[in-house]
Amino acid sequence: MKVPLYFLTMKNTSYINTSPESSFAQHFHILGKKCSSLDISTNLLYCILCFSFKTVTLILLFPYEQVDGNPVPAIIFKGLPSTFHAFLLSIVMAFSGAFNALMLATNKPKIAKFCSYYSMGFMASAVVLLFWAVFQTVFNLR
């Protein structure tokens, strides 16, 4: 295994673990080995974290229209400002729940479990709001 250059410049390199079992990629590759429920929930939280971050990044690229002084994306949430704000709130809460659950998993497992549950709940509500907004936009029901 090739060691990155910044590892070689460190003064005390005796504590560096370069084994493949400790690599970052092991969290995402669970096929072919026995998985515990902790591995699956960790992977789900990583997916929620990445999906919510990418969703917010994509929303910033959409064209906006002003509705009552508030910017609303003109593609999906056109004419639905309250739905858009509820969607954003759900995405932000899902992101914060997943992040908190991943950070607190080793030290505070009960709080981490609660954070993972509310992260999954807010992500489910964000998906429902997105489908509802797409349904409203496609069939012109507003």
pLDDT in tens, 37-79: 556 588 899 999 999 999 999 998 999 998 888 889 988 888 8
Statement: residue 4 has pLDDT above 60: no
Provide the β-strand partners of residue 70: 67
Instruction: Give the closest residue to 125 by CA, choosing from 59, 48, 26, 54.
Output: 48
Q: What does the pLDDT read at residue 54?
A: 95
Statement: residue 31 has pLDDT above 90: no
More confident residue, 16 or 94: 94
Statement: residue 29 has pLDDT above 80: no
Q: What does the pLDDT read at residue 47?
A: 92
pLDDT category, 7, cuts 50, 70, 90?
Answer: very low
- For residues 33-40, give the mean pLDDT: 54
pLDDT category, 138, cuts 50, 70, 90?
Answer: confident
- pTM, two decimals, is 0.71
Residues 6+ apart with CB under 8 A from 105: 42, 112
Q: What does the pLDDT read at residue 24?
A: 44
Residues 6+ apart with CB under 8 A from 14: none
